[in-house]
Structure 1
Amino acid sequence: MKRHKGNRWQGVLLGTFLGVSSLFAQQGQTGYQPTPENLQARQEFSDSKFGIFLHWGIYSMFGQGEWYMETSGIDCHEYAKAASGFYPSRFNAKEWVAAIKASGAKYICITTRHHDGFSMFDTRYSDYDIIDATPFKRDIIKELAEECQKQGIKLHLYYSHLDWTREDYYPYGYTGHNTGRTKHGDWNTYYQFMNNQLTELLTNYGPVGAIWFDGVWDHWEVDKNFDWRLGEQYALIHKLQPACMIGNNHHRAPIEGEDFQMFERDLPGENKAGFSGTSKIGQLPLETCETMNGMWGYRVKDQNYKSVPTLVRLLVRAAGKGANLLMNIGPQPNGELPALALDRLKGMGEWMNKYGETIYGTTRGGVESSEWGTTTRKGNMLYVHILADKMPSFITLPLKERVKKAVLFDGGEKVKAERIDGGVVLHTADLKPDTDCIVALTLAD
């Protein structure tokens, strides 16, 4: 028998929103003061440095990436029929989490609802979800949440602000005009729907490390003043789970109420991909997300996975800028992580087992980005990561502290460090290039 999914919490939530709405500006949360639990979560997040992103939904069945409905102009009602055949028989949360944890990643971020509107969890507010619309009838997010708690890894939840299927996502932004919707609903109903679902995610799935929002750019591209009422939404999240961080991939500088700053396909401040929208780096924890191959969602033709050395160097360069790397995998429609992705996870895990000390818990080291590499720092230890394929003859570091000892991290051989005006010169001509040749400097207290 189909379960009724009425708006059981609508009155409760509406009362909550009315009670807090006067406290917030149009987009930001006026006077937001993160709780001690939230500040601790931010520090743990900054220290973790490495997470795995999972873009998974019924779009995986088409093998064309997560934007297939939009890029191919697919009628959303025809697209939705794929749900009746979605049966990822080889999905095993225990195996997923174990492989990801072994890679050295400290957290997982998975899509709970992407732009196609399909929910990968059991929701009372839509029948277009993993339980009601598919023969699989297992709550993917719940199984993953439980396994993350068992294996001691954080779970972050991606949630789309935009929707190409629902009639009440109206007015449209710059996407979703050719997906077969003919009626125009009430934006307030859609806003209520989102907050109902967020309440479910933050109530029924245990501790959530972060809500990773995406899609605000859909309206801001055509109406810079569109009121997403983010302040109220952020307040709801922080009320339900004070330690839960909020990040928003809106391609702008963070607004009040957000707990970390993210950069899509870019290291902080670079904006080479054109999605970051700002070169301004704030004081919040930083995260850069990138694909392991060329797509976010599973694309059957895309087997062009980045090599382990390339991924390691991306991770190191992110750490050199004080940022985390959120590396994406698009799971297959049968529920398996692609073999090439598993191979890359294994390779990164082997590297992190040896050199993770130079990454975890570090901060910027004074040289964030150079042709030869970058630096990370932890206490009085400065790690010089030489990432160049051709070893430079020497490296100049703008150091005020005295260098007590300079050695190769792997092996302990001494490296000549010469004091000059304004810094220190490392003589590196005789060192052998590697994925990451690391010189460990012990600095005077």
Structure 2
Amino acid sequence: MKLTNPFYKTVILFVMITTVAYTQGKYEPAPENKKNREWFQDAKFGLFIHWGVYSVLGDGEWVMNQQQIPIKTYEKIPAFFNPTDFDAKAWVQMVKAAGMKYIAITSKHHDGFAMWDSKVSDYNIVKRTPYGKDVLKMLADECHKEGIKLFFYHSQLDWHHPDYFPRGNTGGNWTGRPENGDWYKYLDYMDAQLTELLTNYGEVAGIWFDGMWDKKDADWRLNKTYSLIHKLQPGALVGSNHHVAPYDGEDFQMFEKDLPGHNTTGFAPEQKIGDLPKETCETINHSWGFNLKDQNHKSRKELIQYLVKASGYGANFLLNVGPMPNGKIQTEHIERLKEMGEWLTANGETIYGTRGGPLTARDWGVTTQKGNKVYIHILDWQDESLVIPSWGKKIKSAKLFKDKSAVKFIENDFGITLKVPKTKLDEVDTIVELELK
């Protein structure tokens, strides 16, 4: 790895200066950060993008580790990465048509390859690929133009950098790295690259960290890194996919392939739900990065219901696509996103700007709330009558959100009984709008 020494030294000096006054006291978010947290909770739906040189092999973003490809061999892959069909405008228009409000894209994944014009290291898309362009700059410019917020996913884990030492649970001896290194020098390198992302790409909505789980007991120097981010861009939201309760300095809590409080994946057996804004991420098929053989595309119904459930849990839904090495997104995924956008055009009032409703999730569905309106999202119910618990508020009126037709209801000691004719039930989501007195 070649380092541009003068720039690198300047950035490290800046990192030291900006953090020297930062105390070990409790993090207090800036006013613009608090405002952005509110925006984040209102946004509800975003696009996750896993894209890097690994897409050339068509076997997901973990291919280097799964196939145990040594660094010297893996470094040949960028020469085959030439995404001449990448169109930032088309991507952003797709996002807007889907009803999404933000994008989170991989700036650097675990393979250590930077998808921007980094001056800290030449291991990047501009210097190592025939494409030779900064895709993050193009995407950032288009996002700013169209009012779409942009987050950068950034891997703390690095299978390529020699100073990522001692090794963690992944990226073992097969990489060919020397069995030595300076851990804090690696963290300086990471902070220097973050500084580039936070100073050269306009307003950044946030940093989406991943990889701490590789060395969960290491000194990740979070206090220093988080303070650097908040000093460079006070409004930027910091989150980390570490599968435990949020650390001081973080601004939102994420849940990987699970709704808050669930652990179907086994990733987060001890993850507690905190008070920060929440987000759950999931794949549109079974893969994060482009996988040539993965045809397990989720249905329109599955994806819409996951969005609705996430909203009922008070969380955003970050839905992932893995673009192909030519820069295009699979047609099946474009179609799914279009279908979700069409549903949100009709029903977005019950999702955007809401918070989790007065009832916790039930087998039949969830509730969302905005002001004095509660939306009952019936996702799995075949009978005409549905009895739900009362939460101490009297109902003024009940109607189907779809056609505004009245819904009969009874309030008594047994709770609230809603009567929806079977002919009015929707296969995906029957929404009953309750107006409270």
Shorter chain as normaliser: what TM range? over 0.9
Residue number in structure 2 paired with 1:148: 143
Residue number in structure 1 paired with 2:175: 179
Q: Alpha-carbon deviation of 1:391?
A: 4.1
Amino acid at match of 1:288: T
The answer as to whether partners of 2:243 and 2:271 remain within 8 angstroms in 1 is no
User: Which residue, out of 180, 185, 189, partners 1:189?
Assistant: 185
Change (3 A) 1:254 1:422: farther
| Counterpart mapping for 1:93-112 below 5 A | 93-112=88-107
1:210 equivalent to 2:206? Answer yes
Change (3 A) 1:15 1:197: closer
Change (3 A) 1:262 1:392: farther
User: Which residue, out of 37, 42, 45, partners 2:32?
Assistant: 37
| Counterpart mapping for 1:36-55 below 5 A | 36-55=31-50
The answer as to whether partners of 1:394 and 1:429 remain within 8 angstroms in 2 is no
For structure 1, the 5+ residue unaligned runs are none
* Runs of 4 or more above 6 Å deviation: none
Residue number in structure 2 paired with 1:436: 429
Residue number in structure 1 paired with 2:227: 235
Give, in whole Å, the separation in 2 of the partners of 1:38 and 1:296.
29
Q: Alpha-carbon deviation of 1:396?
A: 1.1
Aligned-pair Cα RMSD in Å: 1.6
Residue number in structure 2 paired with 1:309: 301
Give, in whole Å, the separation in 2 of the partners of 1:251 and 1:4.
33
Q: Deviation digits for residues 298-329 of structure 1, max 9, x if unmatched?
A: 00000111011110000000000000000000
The answer as to whether partners of 1:113 and 1:158 remain within 8 angstroms in 2 is yes
| Counterpart mapping for 1:9-408 below 5 A | 9-11=8-10, 13-14=12-13, 16-17=15-16, 20=19, 23-25=22-24, 30-177=25-172, 178-220=174-216, 224=217, 226-388=218-380, 390-391=382-383, 393-408=385-400
SS at match of 1:360: coil
Amino acid at match of 1:394: L
Give, in whole Å, the separation in 1 of the partners of 2:93 and 2:383.
36
Give, in whole Å, the separation in 1 of the partners of 2:360 and 2:308.
10
Amino acid at match of 2:252: F
Amino acid at match of 2:425: K
Q: Alpha-carbon deviation of 1:412?
A: 1.2
Give, in whole Å, the separation in 2 of the partners of 1:320 and 1:57.
33
The answer as to whether partners of 2:3 and 2:121 remain within 8 angstroms in 1 is no
In the alignment of these two chains, the number of paired residues is 434
Give, in whole Å, the separation in 2 of the partners of 1:390 and 1:64.
41
The answer as to whether partners of 2:244 and 2:271 remain within 8 angstroms in 1 is no
Give, in whole Å, the separation in 2 of the partners of 1:139 and 1:22.
34
Percent sequence identity over aligned pairs: 49
Amino acid at match of 1:192: D
Q: Alpha-carbon deviation of 1:417?
A: 1.2
Change (3 A) 1:279 1:190: closer
Q: Deviation digits for residues 154-199 of structure 1, max 9, x if unmatched?
A: 0000000011111111111100002222352211221111011000
Q: Alpha-carbon deviation of 1:275?
A: 1.6
